[in-house]
Amino acid sequence: MCPSVQERGDDLPGLLTWQPDPLMDDQELDSRQSTGAVYWEGAARVSRDGTELGRAYLELTGYAGALRMGGP
């Protein structure tokens, strides 16, 4: 599974939804025990409205919650 990516289009009103579909399983990394981060990194097929647009290498952070930096 891969989180949905949304981008505000400059030339189109509203949000465009880009759907990345992973090309391999297990590309999400849970490093909460060491760095406190959960992130998704890997190869994906990218589509919008059911039409494949291409392939990409993505690194996504922040979708599982805010990263706590420093402090108690």
Strand partners, 16: 7
Q: Are 47 and 19 in contact (CB under 8 A)?
A: yes
With 0.75 as the threshold, say if the pTM is over it.
Answer: no
CA-wise closest residue to 58 among 5, 13, 16: 5
Residue 72, both tokens: 């108690």
Give the whole-angstrom CA distance, residue 35 versus residue 20: 25
DSSP 8-state code for residue 67:
P
pLDDT, one tens digit per residue, over 1-45 is: 455 555 544 555 566 777 888 898 888 888 888 877 888 889 999
Which residue has 């465009």 as its token pair?
16
